[in-house]
């Protein structure tokens, strides 16, 4: 097992990608603190329709320990409490996975300012808050790791006036974090998912889901565990000399010029 006795926080861990990340980290021996607004997994219109077991119960089923902490990652007080509860329960922190994210349809004319602020708050500002709270404890770890989940939308327009710039910001915030923390042996890397089968896709039409499959060179859409396995790699000793990178995990989505 690659992550025996390590402690991880996974934000947005109740559903979708965060759930997949939590399970893959746990399979490698990590104890996982699942942070989310709600404990119940969100059923999707196209994906995860039948997922009902809360993530911590799923971790227990595979013989791992977990803790659910209800917290809004854009709320500084809640984030500080999340880190405190992690320390109280498991005595340390080795891996921070910033996964929670939200999306809303809209362009520069139709996106309310409040929605723009909320998307930035959850998808970008929150990473500053969690990182700030976690760093003193990651410094005490033998293998401190920060793994941030952005998107292929970090590199192209078309994701909307808030989501795409927030994700681009995640890539560069991660680089800055990597530079700041390298001397402490802490790495910071970004994973940029392509289309992953989760409830966040509910806003799409069936035709758009089919189009996403057509645009993905490998012949299937992504699964939460695909992102989870990349997280295991970045969290493990195998990646101890890799920092500041942004890894697409996208079935080849970014490879062609469409």
Under the binding rule (CB under 6 A), the answer on residue 198 touching ligand NAD is yes
Region class of 173: left (phi > 0), else alpha (psi between -120 and 50), else beta = alpha
Coil, helix or strand for 191?
Answer: strand
Please say whether the beta carbons of 10 and 17 come within 8 A: no
Q: Which of 28, 72, 94, 226 binds ligand NAD (CB under 6 A)?
A: 72
Q: What is the maximum span of the chain, computed from C-alpha positions, in angstroms?
A: 50
Q: Which positions from 108 through 167 interact with ligand NAD, judged by CB under 6 A?
A: 122, 149, 151
Of 143 and 209, nearer to ligand NAD (C-beta) is: 209
Of 101 and 144, nearer to ligand NAD (C-beta) is: 101
**What is the distance between the alpha carbons of residues 82 and 87, in angstroms, rounded to a whole number?**
9
Under the binding rule (CB under 6 A), the answer on residue 99 touching ligand NAD is yes
CA angle 115/116/118 to nearest 5° reads: 60
Out of 46, 163, 195, 203, which one is annotated catalytic? 163
Q: Which of 18, 54, 165, 169 binds ligand NAD (CB under 6 A)?
A: 18
Under the binding rule (CB under 6 A), the answer on residue 174 touching ligand NAD is no
Please say whether the beta carbons of 9 and 83 come within 8 A: yes
Under the binding rule (CB under 6 A), the answer on residue 247 touching ligand NAD is no
Q: How crowded is the C-beta side of 12, counted as CA atoms within 13 Å?
A: 23
Under the binding rule (CB under 6 A), the answer on residue 243 touching ligand NAD is no
Under the binding rule (CB under 6 A), the answer on residue 36 touching ligand NAD is yes
Please say whether the beta carbons of 171 and 153 come within 8 A: no
- 163: annotated active-site residue: yes
Please say whether the beta carbons of 8 and 94 come within 8 A: yes
Of 14 and 187, nearer to ligand NAD (C-beta) is: 14
**What is the distance between the alpha carbons of residues 181 and 35, in angstroms, rounded to a whole number?**
24
Under the binding rule (CB under 6 A), the answer on residue 17 touching ligand NAD is yes
Under the binding rule (CB under 6 A), the answer on residue 200 touching ligand NAD is yes
What are the residues binding ligand NAD (CB under 6 A)?
Answer: 11-12, 14-18, 35-38, 42, 72-74, 99-102, 122, 149, 151, 193, 195-196, 198-200
User: Which residues are tagged catalytic?
Assistant: 163
């Amino acid at each position: 097992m690659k992550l025996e006795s390590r402690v991880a926080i996974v934000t947005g861990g109740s559903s979708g990608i965060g759930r997949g990340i939590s399970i893959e980290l746990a399979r490698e021996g990590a104890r996982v603190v699942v942070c989310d607004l709600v404990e119940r997994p969100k059923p999707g219109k196209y994906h995860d329709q039948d997922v009902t077991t809360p993530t911590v119960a799923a971790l227990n089923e595979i013989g791992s320990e977990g803790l659910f902490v209800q917290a809004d990652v854009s709320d500084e007080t809640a984030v500080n409490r999340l880190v405190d509860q992690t320390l109280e329960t498991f005595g340390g922190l080795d891996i921070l996975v910033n996964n929670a994210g939200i999306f809303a349809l809209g362009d520069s004319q139709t996106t309310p300012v409040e929605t723009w602020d909320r998307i930035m708050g959850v998808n970008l500002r929150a990473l500053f808050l969690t990182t700030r709270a976690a760093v003193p404890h990651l410094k005490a770890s033998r293998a401190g790791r920060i793994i941030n989940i952005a998107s292929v939308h970090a590199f192209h327009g078309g994701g909307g006036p808030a989501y795409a710039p927030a994700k681009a910001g995640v890539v560069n915030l991660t680089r800055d974090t990597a530079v700041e923390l390298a001397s402490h042996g802490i790495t910071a890397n970004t994973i940029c998912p392509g289309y992953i089968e989760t409830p966040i896709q509910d806003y799409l039409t069936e035709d758009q889901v089919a189009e996403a499959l057509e645009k993905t060179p490998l012949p299937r859409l992504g699964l939460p565990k695909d992102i989870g396995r990349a997280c295991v790699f970045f969290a493990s000793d195998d990646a101890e000399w890799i920092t500041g990178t942004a890894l697409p995990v996208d079935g080849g989505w970014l490879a062609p010029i469409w």
